[in-house]
Structure 1
Amino acid sequence: MNVDVSTAARRGWRGPVEAATAMFLVGTLAGVSGVIGEYPVYGGQALRYLLAAVILLAVARLAGLRFVRLTPRETALLAALSLTGLVIFNVCVIEATRHGGPALVGTVLGTVPLALALLGGRPSPRLVGAAAVVVAGATVATGLGSGDLTGLLWSLGALGCEVCFSLLAIPLLPKLGAVRVSAYSVTLAVPMLVVTGLLVDGAAMIRVPTAPELAGLGYQSLIVTSVAFFLWYDALPRLGPATAGLFAGLIPVGAIATGAVLGLGVPSAPDLLGAALVVAGIVIGLSSAGSPAAGERRPTGTRRPAAGESRPVGAG
């Protein structure tokens, strides 16, 4: 039987490329958040997710993906995903940036690979070691010592929410697929943010954004939310949480690149060294046991995915 080696290779690299791109784009959030720092937090994020919901629901319709009836458990998982991974996460990042700066946030989020490696199943010692290398690289790239206790607490909150963003989605992906998980989660986030904004800021939660603020919110909606969410949720079941988590080390790399593009600073030697360590850790992790990593929990079931759905971990 002939085997299309090139097709198999493309499938093998799809997950890593998607995960790397998604986490790099998420890393650009810190720099762009500075552009909208003066805009009301809850109102701004509600606008961001509203636009993203329109985009993702339109993509789902064009792809022929029908609405799927959810069980009470799946509804609870999706609501928890929206609340923690989207709403609270973004509030934590914005507040942490205000108190401690992007360096502190990037350093704490750099521990995501280690957290997912430890929580994602039974990772091999080499995979845990690779996660540690990625964490070290993220720490070197962003630097320690900035911010205060308040900024640190907000950053730790963002870390917990980032972990929930992945782990809560894993049971939903085999049935819903990447597009619908992304679309449903951002749609649920809108009323949560509107209600919170009205309680906290009242009518002041919404105002006409300036041109830079509008550009920043548009970038967050289209790139950081619509594109990055789909790529991450498509890669997650292909790689498993521990292996996919390694690519979270690219978050500070994306922040550094964004800072350079926006003229906020030229990458320093520690920045470049940290980026090199992150890449080295990812390579070690991917070569440790293949994708997904040996010993990770894998969703069970043999149902053939519908069009547009993600394959269960290990499928194909």
Structure 2
Amino acid sequence: MGWALVTAVAPVAWGTNYYVTHQFLPPDHPLYGAAIRALPAGLLLLLVSRKLPRGAWWWKSLVLGTLNMSAFFALIYLAAQSLPTSVASTIMATSPVVMMLLAWSMLAERPRIAHLAGAALGIAGVCLMLLGGEAALDGLGVLASVAAMVMSSIGYVLSKRWSHETDVLSSTSWQLIAGGIVLVPFAVAVEGPPPALSAPALAAFGYVAVVATAVAFAAWFAGLRHLPAGTVGLLGLLNPVTGVLLGTVVAAEALTVRQFGGMALVLLGILLGQPITTRLAATVRARTGRPLERCP
């Protein structure tokens, strides 16, 4: 249960990131926005870990930094500027199924029945929250969200595959720095000079870099190291719940009955995939004389 709570920090922080990006950051500079998010966060974690990559981790950091950070951040930044908070965050919530399938094929980590049931409920809840919204959908924003979800799912499974080779803070810092370095030349070539930032924008970037990036990704990769991919993926469903609630409370976005029902299904799906739920089910089976399912 402890690692699940640590991991949950990440999707909650990411759920707030959509609102902060949409409300306070410049809309015409997604590449600079992604670079400004990644590099300070990576340097901050590097100051804590004080380790440089060695051997294969030079190219692994570049691969993971591109999948999990540079391309992902740019696409998420674009999606956050193009879609309502609730819509952008709910599209990303389809990642648990993709992560489970990738972990099955790449790590031989077969999804448990509880994980599949939780994913089914989560997807149903996501559909209710998405289809229940009244805002028009921007096609480019939807495409950016889907692409970000697929790329990050691949990157997360690769991170789990290589997680035994180094500590969490070091690998997270290297990915962020590599991703930020990859973004800078593209930002200069495509977007020209860096944007002028107001005081609220600087404060927003500070929050995004420290809380929604450095802390969030360290928590997420720690969870991937200690928990099955299915469990971690389902915890990611807290992202749209946070986005919808924040949009309702702060941004005055309408919360419909369908969205409320969707959130209930999402929370139930998350609960089904947690180790404590599996252990309780095993206890019930033991008392009723049924075969036990191995707990994660």
Instruction: Report the secondary structure of 1:168's partner residue.
Output: helix
How big is the shift at 1:129?
1.4
Gaps of 5+ in 2: 105-109, 280-295
Deviations 1:261-286 (A, max 9, x none): 53433644434322221221111112
Q: Which residue of 1 aligns with 2:158?
A: 168
Deviations 1:82-123 (A, max 9, x none): 112111112212223344433432232121111112222211
1:262 is aligned to 2:250: yes
After superposition, residues 113-262 of structure 1 pair within 5 angstroms as: 113-121=96-104, 122-143=110-131, 146-202=136-192, 204=193, 206-262=194-250
Q: Could you tell me how far apart the structure 2 residues matched to 1:260 and 1:148 are?
A: 20
Deviations 1:207-260 (A, max 9, x none): 331122112111110100111011111111111211110011111112123324
Aligned amino acid, residue 185 of structure 2: V
Partners of 2:32 and 2:187 within 8 A in 1: yes
How big is the shift at 1:39?
5.4
More helix by share: 2
1:52 to 28, 33, 41: 41
TM-score relative to the length of structure 2: 0.83
Aligned amino acid, residue 47 of structure 2: A
Instruction: Report the secondary structure of 1:54's partner residue.
Output: helix
Gaps of 5+ in 1: 1-12, 291-313
Q: Could you tell me how far apart the structure 1 residues matched to 2:195 and 2:228 are?
A: 41
Aligned amino acid, residue 135 of structure 1: I
Partners of 1:46 and 1:194 within 8 A in 2: yes
Q: Could you tell me how far apart the structure 2 residues matched to 1:28 and 1:150 are?
A: 21
How big is the shift at 1:144?
5.9
Partners of 2:122 and 2:269 within 8 A in 1: yes
Q: Which residue of 2 aligns with 1:111?
A: 94
Q: Could you tell me how far apart the structure 2 residues matched to 1:101 and 1:124 are?
A: 33
Q: Which moved more, 1:259-268 or 1:45-54?
A: 259-268
The share of aligned pairs that are identical, in percent, is 25
TM-score relative to the length of structure 1: 0.78
Quickly say closer, same or farther: Cα 1:170–1:46, change in 2 above 3 A: same
